[in-house]
Amino acid sequence: MKLAVGDIAPAFCAMSDEEQLVSLTQYAGKRVVLYFYPKDNTPGCTTESCDFSSHIGIFQQHGAAVLGVSKDNTKSHRSFKEKYKLPFLLLSDPEAKICEQYGAWSTKMSFGRTFLGIVRSTFVIDEKGIIRGVWYGVKVSGHVEKVLKCLGSW
């Protein structure tokens, strides 16, 4: 099921790259940019994560925390985060439960092969837990600017 602007953001709890349990409720009263990406250390995911990282000051000016989610384990996340000096938490969703809740887990096709995988997706969640921005099938180039524009629109 895909989510839409105006929906209540599904609650979640996941282990972070810092080996801490992180839940959406910890961010009550704050804005959250939650982005789902397929895999650590792959070209598109690295570009996307580094783009969020290079704009972190602007996200902070808007009062928004950035959280990345993939199926990778915490050790992989820690290595990825350290390698690219990412200044935000990466959450491990090994069973794709959070991905499913947010509609970011779907059938994909690559080289004639069909499989289930993470659909690159981003959600902007307001202080009350309401989704204010939704992007599925994200194209990395120019995406962060769209997210920032959404944050500045209310």
15's tokens: 């282990």
pLDDT tens sequence across 93-105? 999 999 999 999 9
**pLDDT above 90 covers what percent of the chain?**
92
Confidence (pLDDT) at 97: 98
Confidence (pLDDT) at 154: 65
| Number of structural domains the chain divides into | 1
- Answer for the pair 92, 99: CB distance below 8 angstroms, yes or no: no
Query: What's 71's DSSP letter?
Result: S
Q: Is residue 93 part of a domain?
A: yes
Least confident stretch, 6-10, 48-52, 109-113, 143-147: 109-113
| pLDDT average, residue stretch 48-65 | 97
Range of 109's domain? Answer: 13-151
pLDDT tens sequence across 79-95? 999 999 999 999 999 99
Confidence (pLDDT) at 62: 96
Q: What is the CATH number of the domain that holds 20?
A: 3.40.30.10
Q: Is residue 4 part of a domain?
A: no
Q: Is residue 52 part of a domain?
A: yes
Confidence (pLDDT) at 1: 84
Determine whether 95 is exposed, middle or buried from the number of CB atoms within 10 Å of its CB (0-12, 13-18, 19+): exposed
Q: Is residue 96 part of a domain?
A: yes
Q: Is residue 73 part of a domain?
A: yes
Q: Is residue 1 part of a domain?
A: no
The one catalytic residue among 45, 50, 99, 150: 45
Of the pLDDT bands very low, low, confident and very high (cuts 50, 70, 90), residue 153 is confident
CA angle (141 as vertex; 138, 145 as ends), nearest 5? 85
Q: Is residue 23 part of a domain?
A: yes
Whether 45 is a known active-site residue: answer: yes
Q: Is residue 7 part of a domain?
A: no
Residue reference for tokens 């180039």: 141
Of the pLDDT bands very low, low, confident and very high (cuts 50, 70, 90), residue 75 is very high
